């Protein structure tokens, strides 16, 4: 009997997700997905990681 209740609940949740989507802030999504160049600070960390990887490979 518990399995039937679980399936019914899953069906309700799936139906709610399918037909009642939440509001989406398209401007924020566009900003998150934009391909802006990373900050200089991020570039320095990437170089440090590459150098550390090279040191590990050469040891």
H-only helix segments in the chain: 2-19, 26-33, 40-58
Higher pLDDT, 25 or 48: 25
Higher pLDDT, 55 or 32: 32
How far from the centroid of its chain's Cα atoms is residue 54's Cα? 29
21 pLDDT higher than 80:
no
The structure tokens listed for 22 are 């939440």
Residues of the chain above pLDDT 70, percent: 71
In eight-state DSSP terms, residue 23 is P
Which pLDDT score, from 0 to 100, does residue 44 have?
67
Query: How many whole angstroms separate alpha carbon 26 and alpha carbon 14?
Result: 24
Task: Quickly state the pLDDT bin for 14 (edges 50, 70, 90).
Answer: very high
Which of 36, 55, 58, 35 shows the shortest CA–CA distance to 47?
55
């Amino acid at each position: 009997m518990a399995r039937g209740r679980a399936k019914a609940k899953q069906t309700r949740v799936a139906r709610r997700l399918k037909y009642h989507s939440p509001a989406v802030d398209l401007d924020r999504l566009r900003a998150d997905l934009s391909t802006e160049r990373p900050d200089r600070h991020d570039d320095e960390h990437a170089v440090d990681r590459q150098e550390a990887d090279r040191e590990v490979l050469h040891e």
